[in-house]
Amino acid sequence: MPAEPIQLSESFGWYLVARFELLDVQSILQQFDSPRGADGPTGREEFKTKVADLYEASCRMRETFMTAYDRFLVEGAVALGLTDAQMDSLQRLLRCKVRFIHHADCVLIYAPMRTDRNRIPAQTVFYVMHASMEMFSECLLASNRLQGWLDVGLGMEGADGAFYGPELAQLWDRKRAILQPRITVGKALYGYLKCTDIVADASNLERVINRRFADRCLEALVVDDNGILYLKL
């Protein structure tokens, strides 16, 4: 059943959006882009093998990411140097779960940044960044080159989990501009991390923690000779 318009409208806001793609897959599958490519028993079996390998690699991406993300939900705040009382308060805050959409050789990960839905947005950015780095490393160990992009942008999500927003098109444009195995970070996300809660009231624990997570995210960034930001692996 289609989502009600009001449900879609209520989801409007800023989102953290990440897209990851296995490199080299399309060039391999294009060998079978015509009837001749998979002609005969040998061609069909080779095609099945290639697709099975792709499916296994994609499933490994999801499993690695979600395992790392869930672990950071439990352990990630320990590194912030909070007092026991602050840690107790943090544990009671609402945690934001990410959405993970899997399509062939690509995965899309998104999470709301609105504070009424995500009390500490920079926490989610921190966990997604580090879970992405683990996923990236695991793919390389399995000889699967991975390319990723992270940024924030306006969007809406449907009841079926689908995500709609201009950031998807922008991420696709960046894919064509940068074809190498690394995780690129967009300027909008960088701007958020630099500016969010920069003058947070010390009595507001949520905002103080949000700023600390933002600082930890910034520590994970490096810039190349072309001014492009990416995660330090």
Q: Check residue 101 and give its pLDDT.
A: 86
Kindly calculate the radius of gyration of the chain based on its CA atoms and give it in whole angstroms. Answer: 20
Q: How far apart, in Å, are the Cα atoms of 151 and each of 36, 193, 226?
A: 41, 11, 18
pTM value surpassing 0.85: no
CA–centroid distance for 207 within its chain: 23
Q: Check residue 5 and give its pLDDT.
A: 43
The boundaries of the domain holding residue 218 are 5-231
Q: Check residue 53 and give its pLDDT.
A: 82
175: left (phi over 0), alpha (psi -120 to 50) or beta: alpha
Residues 6+ positions from 224 with CB-CB distance below 8 Å: 230
- Structure token pair of residue 140: 């390389």
Q: How many Å apart are CA 28 and CA 43, to the nearest integer?
A: 13
Q: Check residue 95 and give its pLDDT.
A: 63
pLDDT tens string for the chain (233 positions)?
A: 344 444 666 788 999 999 998 887 766 666 666 555 555 556 778 778 878 888 888 888 889 999 998 888 777 666 666 777 777 766 666 567 788 887 777 888 999 998 888 888 998 999 999 999 999 999 888 888 888 999 999 988 887 778 888 766 665 555 555 567 899 999 999 999 999 988 767 778 888 888 989 999 999 999 998 899 999 98
Q: How many Å apart are CA 44 and CA 50, to the nearest integer?
A: 10
* Residue whose tokens read 């950071």: 72
- Sort 136 into a burial class: Cβ within 10 Å, 0-12 / 13-18 / 19+: buried
Specify the CATH number for the domain of residue 16: 3.30.70.270
Residues 6+ positions from 99 with CB-CB distance below 8 Å: 109, 110, 111, 157, 161, 163
Question: Using the 8-state DSSP alphabet, how is residue 21 labeled?
Answer: E
Q: Check residue 113 and give its pLDDT.
A: 92
Give the total number of structural domains in the chain. 1
